[in-house]
Amino acid sequence: MEKYKIIGSHPLSGEIKVSGAKNAALKILAASVLSKDTCQINNIPQIEDIKRMTEILESLGAKLLWHDSTLTIDPSGITKSIPDQQLIKKLRSSIVLAGPLLARFGEVTMSHPGGCIIGKRPIDLFLSGFKALGAEIFDHGESFTLKAKKLTGAKIVLPKVSVTVTESLMMTACLAQGTTTIINSAMEPEIPALAQYLNKCGAKITGAGTPQIIIEGVDGLSAGIYELMPDRIEACSFVMMGLATGSKIKVTDCRPEHLETVLAILKNAGADLEIGPDYITTKTSYLRGTEIQTHEYPGFPTDLQAPFTVLMTQANGRSLIHETIFDGRLFYTDKLNAMGADIIMCDPHRVIVSGKTKLNGKKLESPDLRAGMALIIAGLCAEGETTIDNIYQIERGYENIVPRLRAIGAKIEKIKD
C-alpha cells in the first residue's frame, strides 16, 4: 500500500500548471463511441479515472494510442454494447457510456456504476431521460438493459439540475430522430465544451451553457481533433493551497472566467490575488471567516467545498459551510478536528469552522477524491508529519500530484508501508 508523507509548514513558491479537465475528458471519451471515425483528444490528464474509462473502451473493442497527453481513439472496432461489468463498477462516471452505446447500437446492458461514493447518487434521472427518448428499460437488480428500435427527440424537463444527466442526454439525442429540448439543464463549462466537440463532429446543438439545450438529431457523426479545457477544480484547489499556506504561487494554464464566483468569495474573505487571462497568483493574505453554500454552476462548486473548508481553518473568525449537493460530504471534517481544527457539525449538510487554528500532522485516510486534496492542503499547513492513506482516491483526479507539488517546494513524497 502506498501513501503520501507530508512535512508541513514550509512555504511554497513558483508556478504550477493546470492539467486538462477530468470531468470534461471523461464525457468526451464517452462521446467517441457515437462515431466510427478516429478522434484525437489533446491535453488529456493521465489520472486513474481516465485509465478506468480507457480500459472500458478497450474492452468494448476500441483501439487507443497515447502520446504524452494526447490520446487517439479508433472506435471502429467496437461491435458490442455490453461493457465489462467489473470495470463499470470501478468508475462512477461509466454511466455516461450508456447513452452513446444505446444511440449507436440500439441496446446496452450495464452494471450500476461504482467509484467514489458520496451519499446517494441514483441513476433514475438518466433512465427517465432515456425512456423519454424512446428506450425501454429492463432492471436486472445489479444491472440494467436499455433497448430502442428508434430513438426519437423529446422535450425533457429535468426535475433537478444534474451535470452528468444533461451531458448523457445531450450525447444520446445527437443520433435521435427529430428535435430534443432539455429544460433545466446544467450550465457547467464542461457542458458547452462537450457540445463544441460534438458540433465539430457534425452534431447540431444550441444553448449549451444555458438552462435550455436544443439538439437537432443527425444521421451520424464524424470525429476529429479536439483540445481539452483546463481543469477549473484543480486550478482553484491550487489557489486555495497557496492561500492556506501563505505562499506566493502562480497557477498557470487556467481559465479564471470559469471561477468568477469562487474568486469573488475568496476576495471577499481577504484573499490577495492577481488574476490574469490564463493565470492566478496567490499572495500572503489576512483571511476572514466567511459563509458559503454550494450550488450548481455558476455557484460555488461542491468539488471545492473541502479545500475551502481547510482554507477557513486558517482564516480569522467563524465560517459557515453549507453543502447542498451531496449527503455525507462533510464527514471528512472529523479528520481536520483530529489535526487541531475547531469545526462543529450542525447537521450532515452544515459545519461551523472557527479559526485561525494551528494544525498538527496526523495519520489520515482519504475518504474521497476532493476531501483527499483537502487533506493534502491541511498537511502542508500543519506542523510536523502527516501521512495520508487510500491515495488512489486522490490520484483518480489529480495528475502526478507529488512531483508537481514538490516542484513548488512542498515536502511531500509517496512512500510504501
CATH number, residue 164: 3.65.10.10
Q: How many domains does the chain have?
A: 2
Asked if the structure places residue 376 within a domain, the reply is yes
Residues 182 and 262 placed together within one structural domain of the fold: no
Asked if the structure places residue 246 within a domain, the reply is yes
Q: Cα(409)–Cα(400) distance, rounded to whole angstroms? A: 15
Residues 237 and 101 placed together within one structural domain of the fold: no
pLDDT of residue 369: 95
Looking at residue 122, what DSSP letter applies?
Answer: -
One-letter amino acid for residue 293 of the chain: Q
pLDDT of residue 378: 98
Query: Which residues are designated catalytic?
Result: 116
Residues 104 and 163 placed together within one structural domain of the fold: yes
Residues 245 and 384 placed together within one structural domain of the fold: yes
Residues 175 and 322 placed together within one structural domain of the fold: no
Question: 265 by DSSP, 3-state: which?
Answer: helix
pLDDT of residue 1: 86
Question: 201 by DSSP, 3-state: which?
Answer: coil
Residues 95 and 34 placed together within one structural domain of the fold: yes
pLDDT of residue 115: 45
Residues 324 and 386 placed together within one structural domain of the fold: yes
Structural domain harbouring 400: 2-19+231-416
Q: Cα(118)–Cα(306) distance, rounded to whole angstroms? A: 13
pLDDT of residue 118: 43
Q: Which residues of 171-202 are buried (b: 16+ CB within 10 A; e: fewer)?
A: bbbbbbeeebbbeebbbbbbbbbbbbbbbebb
pLDDT of residue 210: 98
Residues 337 and 373 placed together within one structural domain of the fold: yes
pLDDT of residue 121: 55
Asked if the structure places residue 224 within a domain, the reply is no
Helix axes 190-200 and 163-173, enclosed angle (nearest 10):
10
**Model pLDDT for residues 18-65, shown as the tens digit of each residue:** 999 999 999 999 999 999 999 999 999 999 999 999 999 999 999 999
Cell 449549451 belongs to residue? 208
Range 333-339 contact pairs with CB under 8 angstroms and sequence separation of 24 or more: 333/309, 335/362, 335/364, 335/365, 335/367, 335/375, 335/378, 336/309, 336/310, 336/374, 336/378, 338/362, 338/364, 339/364, 339/378, 339/382, 339/386
Domain boundary among 162, 189, 218: 218
pLDDT of residue 114: 56
Residues 191 and 273 placed together within one structural domain of the fold: no
Residues 294 and 204 placed together within one structural domain of the fold: no
pLDDT of residue 128: 95
**Model pLDDT for residues 83-113, shown as the tens digit of each residue:** 998 899 889 889 999 999 999 999 999 987 7
For the chain, which residues score pLDDT lower than 50? 115-119
Alpha helices in 252-352 (DSSP H): 260-268, 305-313, 333-338
Asked if the structure places residue 387 within a domain, the reply is yes
Domain boundary among 218, 244, 272: 218
